[in-house]
A and B are shown apart, each in its own frame.
Chain A
Amino acid sequence: MLSAESVSKIYRTRKGVRRVLHDVSFRLERGGNLGILGRNGAGKSTLIRLISGAERPTTGHILRRMSISWPLAFAGAFQAHLTGLDNLKFVCRVYGVDYKPLVPFVEEFTELGLYFREPVQHYSHGMLTRLAFALSMAIEFDCFLIDEAMVVGDVRFHERCHVELFQRRKERAFILVTHDASVIKHYCTKVSVLHEGRLLDFPTVDAAYDFYLASLADKPDVREL
């Protein structure tokens, strides 16, 4: 079980405090899923950082009774001088997993060839993304945190991600955060909309979808910097 209880996040800016999330609550059971729709500046990335634990809420609590992944395919923690293999070893050490049995999967999935043992500073963007995704899959989590904006790539890569995530691991829980309404409709059975820092619940996916599309027509969110 993963739950957020009245979570708020305030950032200090030079022009005073800015409330990015306001009283956000949700609950996700094992094997469940939650889609969170929000347009740019709605607080999606902040919510991701709070759920993953990279930042702490200003008020409220996040309870984790199952293991939560880091944001899927997040390549920011890669160190330029480390090789792909080093990065695999690092992640495995942090999560207490033996890396050796995972090498074939990561090598096969990333299609890095010789580059798997070269520093990641020589990788192309596509290679980085493939490595990042493979590492996310290498550690088995109860719940995956998916920031759709991060998973970019060509069609073939998308398809393989889809197989790994939604077919081979379909019994796992996930939270999908995106601004793309069609993606959410495709994968999620429950959808909330992050609107002006508040997380709004809807009885059906379609109701959330309609509200979100209507809100897009409003004036641009001025809080976006």
Chain B
Amino acid sequence: MNGEPSLLRSFEVQRRVLYALLMREVITRYGRENLGVLWLVLEPMIFTLGVMTLWSAGGLSHTSAIPIVAFAVTGYSSVLMWRNAAGRCSMAIEQNKPLLFHRNVQVIDVLLTRIVLEIAGASGSFLVLSSFFIFIGLMPFPVDLLQVLVGWIMLAWFGASLALLIGAGTAFSGIVERLWHPASYLLFPMSGAAFMVDWMTPALRKAVLLLPMVHGTEMLREGYFGNVVRTHYDLGYMAACCLALSLAAFYVLHEAARRVEH
């Protein structure tokens, strides 16, 4: 347990602590009875299936070119990527304060654990659902798999930095949590999940493209559907937003760690 602190050793401690927290969180949330850890993927799957059914029944298919199932799966999976991690990180520090008595466990570990789990769950759900629907022929195979992956990674980056910021912010003030709830509901219809930017008027397009996650969703859909859809996105803009968000998150996190009180 002693020894000189080094980068390699810090990395090893970090890996160990994250693994310990992941196992703890999984058992706590899903238990070991019935399906256990499978719920990590099943929960977002049920959400996506529900939304897919609603959208299909509601006849949301504006253009006949896009298959509604694929549209719903790509759209709602994108929402899960940026919304769930932030939701789980909200008040996470408060809930896990006693863990900080173990000196290796830092505030950031508590947040990272929840981010990793949420992103893994949303990714697993997307992978399982799309594989299944492709297999039974309800969804086409993605046109450009690499671009889908890049869009997904960008959404994960956005989701992770947003979650860190919200998580650290709630350590300062409960107001952050109160504001995050309405914000997450209001952002959902604007996030590009239920529409293509191309369907909007140019003025509206400009407004909605201020939101970073819209770029990720558009990019993902372009990768998925190819030239069938006209997309509007700017990878550079989204990357800049994510970078700014990450820096802000780390700053707030640093301050939160200093101020944490039992």
Please report A residues at the B interface, Cβ cutoff 8 Å: 11, 49, 52-56, 66-68, 70-71, 74, 76-77, 79, 81-82, 86, 89-91, 93-96, 139-142
Contact = CB atoms under 8 A, between A and B. Distances in A.
Nearest to A46: B262
B62 interface: no
Contacts of A140: 1
Contacts of B17: 93-94
Contact of B19 (A74, A93, A139): A93
B101 A76 contact: yes
Nearest to A91: B102
Contacts of A79: 24, 27-28
A54 B257 CA distance: 10
Contacts, number: 76
Interface string B17-45: 10110011001100100000000000000
A77 B102 contact: yes
B257 A56 contact: yes
A52 B103 contact: yes
Interface in B23-77: 23-24, 27-28, 31
Contacts of B19: 93
Contacts of A90: 20, 23-24
B27 A81 contact: yes
Q: Which A-B residue pairs are the 8 nearest by beta carbons?
A: A93-B20, A76-B98, A53-B103, A77-B98, A67-B1, A70-B101, A54-B100, A54-B101
A125 B12 CA distance: 35
Given A77-B101, A96-B16, A67 B28 contact: no
A55 B260 CA distance: 6
Nearest to A66: B2
Nearest to A58: B258
Contact of A82 (B27, B257, B260): B27
A49 B102 CA distance: 10
Which one of B23, B98, B101, B258 has the highest number of Cβ atoms from chain A below 10 Å of its Cβ?
B101
Nearest to B96: A77
B240 interface: no
A197 B101 CA distance: 22
Interface string B98-116: 1111111100000000000
Given A81-B31, A90-B24, 15 more contacts: A54-B103, A54-B262, A70-B102, A71-B101, A74-B98, A77-B101, A77-B102, A79-B28, A90-B20, A93-B17, A93-B19, A94-B16, A95-B1, A95-B104, A96-B1
A28 to B, nearest CB: 15
Nearest to A79: B28
A95 B19 CA distance: 12
A93 B27 contact: no
Contacts of A76: 98, 101
Nearest to B97: A54
A55 B262 contact: yes
B116 to A, nearest CB: 15
A86 B24 contact: yes
A138 to B, nearest CB: 13
Interface in B243-262: 257-258, 260-262
Given A54-B100, A56-B257, A76-B98, A94 B23 contact: no
A86 B262 contact: no
Nearest to B104: A94
19 contacts: A52-B103, A53-B103, A56-B257, A56-B258, A66-B2, A67-B2, A74-B98, A74-B101, A77-B99, A81-B27, A89-B23, A93-B17, A94-B16, A94-B17, A94-B105, A96-B12, A96-B13, A140-B1, A142-B2
Interface in B218-249: none
Contacts of A95: 1, 102, 104
Contact of A68 (B13, B16, B103): B103
Given A52-B101, A76-B98, A81-B28, A93 B261 contact: no
Contacts of B98: 74, 76-77
A142 B31 CA distance: 35
B137 to A, nearest CB: 41
